[in-house]
Amino acid sequence: MSAAAPPAEIDVRPGEVAVAAPTRADACLQFIGRLRTPWKERRDCPRQGDHVNGPLCRVELDAPWRPGLKGVGQHGHLQILYWMHLARRDLVEQSPRHNGLTMGTFALRSPIRPNPVSASLVALIEVHDDHLVVRGLDCVDGTPLIDIKPEKCPEAPVPKAPAA
Amino acid sequence: MSAAAPPAEIDVRPGEVAVAAPTRADACLQFIGRLRTPWKERRDCPRQGDHVNGPLCRVELDAPWRPGLKGVGQHGHLQILYWMHLARRDLVEQSPRHNGLTMGTFALRSPIRPNPVSASLVALIEVHDDHLVVRGLDCVDGTPLIDIKPEKCPEAPVPKAPAA
């Protein structure tokens, strides 16, 4: 499932600069689960996640990878990597304020980027055999999961989840 | 270039648990550049990057994507996403201390994971048309680049690079 044509509402804004979207498969990802969040549409998603006060979300893991959760409860924060599957991939300059003034894609955290991978800090709330409960996600419900790692950089101390 | 057979020195240690390595291509990455670091072999790499005192490294960007660097100099820290191209992808439990005691892959920052993407915090030191100079990488020289984003979570304040 490579990036499909972007939805109709994601047009190029005045001043934005597009190049040829990536078509080479230098490396391939196999999704290992999905994220369950309250946001059913892209437009409902918050600008960024809140690992202190954001809503509880689930990180669901497919069966082969569940043993990989052993010991994850030792960590109060995790880094969740996911694939922004609704994002177009071809803009090098973007106008986030719709005003013709542009910034380079790498100076923005826009989902629109050549490889739409997001790496988000979450607080770990609960550990289960097949999923985690976390705070701090900001993506649409059903977003594909790429990876889970301990987070090296907590922005604020929160109580650790009970050890798994 | 999907994951090739892992190098001979990366054997399964006592207690480690392997599953079938990913073979599905749910999404594909197109590398957008490469990282130039002092470490020519995996065994030379530091355990983790040091964005305060680590060596200067380069983030080289392929030509189509260079306009994406516009404005990146406003940010003192960046998140660099790269593909750990030498990592095997099939272990769900690992024994980092070689002692038979294992942790789940998702409780570790080991390069060995189903989708070997790393997201590292770096301090931005210099901005050039076709590359950045940064501190904080920990990967082997020539590692493929996936993405560059502003970092939301600086661990320590450092002077901002001059605006690009």
Q: Which among B3, B31, B67 has CB closest to A104?
A: B67
Q: Which residues contact B9 (CB under 8 A, 6 or more apart)?
A: none
Percent of chain A as helix, strand, coil, to the nearest 5:
10, 30, 60
pLDDT in tens, B106-158: 999 999 999 999 999 999 999 999 999 999 999 999 999 999 999 876 554 44
From B164, B133, B124, select the one nearest B35 (Cα to Cα).
Answer: B133
Q: Where are the beta strands (DSSP E) in chain A?
A: 17-18, 27-29, 33-36, 56-61, 77-83, 91-94, 103-104, 117-127, 131-135, 143-150
Task: Label residue B20 by pLDDT band (50, 70, 90).
Answer: confident
pLDDT score, position B2? 41
Is some CB atom of chain B closer than 8 A to the CB atom of A28?
A: yes
Arithmetic mean of pLDDT over chain A: 87
From B17, B110, B129, select the one nearest B69 (Cα to Cα).
Answer: B129
| Interfacial B residues in 103-122 facing A (CB < 8 Å) | 103-109, 113-115, 117, 119, 121
pLDDT score, position B163? 46
Mean pLDDT of A116-143: 96
State which H helix or E strand residue B29 sits in.
Answer: strand B27-29
> DSSP label at A118?
E
How far apart, in whole angstroms, are the C-alpha atoms of residue A150 and residue A27? 23
> DSSP label at A64?
G
* pLDDT above 70 (res A154): no
Beta bridge partners of B56: B135
pLDDT in tens, B53-91: 999 999 999 999 999 999 999 999 999 999 999 899 999
From B26, B23, B22, B50, select the one nearest B38 (Cα to Cα).
Answer: B50
Task: Label residue A4 by pLDDT band (50, 70, 90).
Answer: very low
pLDDT score, position B1? 39
- What the block records as the tokens of A133 is 């409960």
pLDDT score, position A15? 85
State which H helix or E strand residue B58 sits in.
Answer: strand B56-61
Nearest CA in chain B to A26: B1
Task: For residue A142, give the amino acid letter.
Answer: G
Q: Which residues contact A24 (CB under 8 A, 6 or more apart)?
A: B28, B30, B31
pLDDT score, position B15? 85
* pLDDT above 80 (res A8): no
pLDDT score, position A155? 52
Other CB atoms within 10 Å distance of the CB of residue B164: 18
Task: For residue A108, give the amino acid letter.
Answer: L
Contacts of A79 in chain B (CB under 8 A): 119
Other CB atoms within 10 Å distance of the CB of residue B66: 18
* pLDDT above 80 (res A90): yes
* A12 in Cβ contact with A18 (< 8 Å): yes
Per cent of chain B over pLDDT 90 is: 70
Complex prediction ipTM:
0.86
- What the block records as the tokens of A76 is 């109060």
Task: Label residue B103 by pLDDT band (50, 70, 90).
Answer: very high
pLDDT score, position A157? 44
Task: Label residue B98 by pLDDT band (50, 70, 90).
Answer: confident
Q: What are the DSSP calls for B104-121, one per residue?
A: EGGGS--S-SSS-EEEEE
Answer whether B117 sits within 8 Å of A81, measured CB to CB: yes
* This prediction's pTM: 0.87
- What the block records as the tokens of A153 is 């950089």
Q: Which among B66, B67, B93 has CB closest to A67?
A: B93
> Cα–chain-centroid distance for residue A9?
20
